[in-house]
Amino acid sequence: MAARIILLTGFEPFGGETSNPSWEVASRLARTKFGSAEVKAARLPVDCKRAASEIKTAIARLKPVAVIGLGQAGGRTALSIEKVAINLADERADRESGEQAAGRAIVRGGPDAYFARLPIASIIEAITKRGIPAAMSLSAGAYVCNTVMYVTLHQLRRLPDVAAGFIHLPFEARQAVRHSSTPSMTVDLMTAGVETALTVVAKRLKRKK
């Protein structure tokens, strides 16, 4: 029997960085197997329209049983398991954290928001048991990470059994050198945390089989 696919996405470096922990983690976990499911990793551009197009193409091509997006959120102190994606795309990342977020609807006529289809509480419990900081987040922002999460859930709206969601990662330890007093985490630790999340999701998939 052919392996079922878990699609794991990360982003290219942006904002003057030479690396992006989301892609470093995703690429490390590529081809990892969780029971009958195998991870396929996709690297996305840091551009709302292009990233939306690429995630839709990847979902249509791979027909995954689960989709988890990874993104960088500098300043966060833990792996942030996102609860909700909103129907708003602002192409300027520097406006994301303020009150000036404007932009456009990601999907015209689409719902105002979608909730993640991940067992968030179980994921957080499993990650923190390994001594890795993790928490639920109620804001994926309004930039490309939120766009990818929203488009993923919209694309899967008629496939309710497909698990889907998004995890934000802190700065990688080497990046923090450029950002004084900024929280960070090693790629090894972030990889272990995401691997744990995938294990929890894969166990749920087994039950639905």
Q: How many independent structural domains does the chain possess? A: 1
> In this structure, are residues 81 and 134 in contact, taking their beta carbons and an 8 Å threshold?
yes
Query: In the annotation, is 48 catalytic?
Result: no
Q: Cα separation of 35 and 171, whole Å?
A: 31
Question: Which domain CATH number covers 16?
Answer: 3.40.630.20
pLDDT in tens, 95-119: 444 444 567 899 999 999 999 999 9
State which residues form the domain around 130. Answer: 4-208
pLDDT in tens, 118-159: 999 999 999 999 999 999 999 999 999 999 999 999 999 999
pTM: 0.91
Instruction: Say which of 54, 82, 96, 172 is annotated catalytic.
Output: 82
Query: In the annotation, is 154 catalytic?
Result: no
Helix and strand totals (H; E) in the chain = 6, 11
Number of residues that make up the chain:
209
Q: Is 94 helix (H, G, I), strand (E, B) or coil?
A: helix
Q: Cα separation of 129 and 89, whole Å?
A: 35
Q: Cα separation of 27 and 10, whole Å?
A: 8
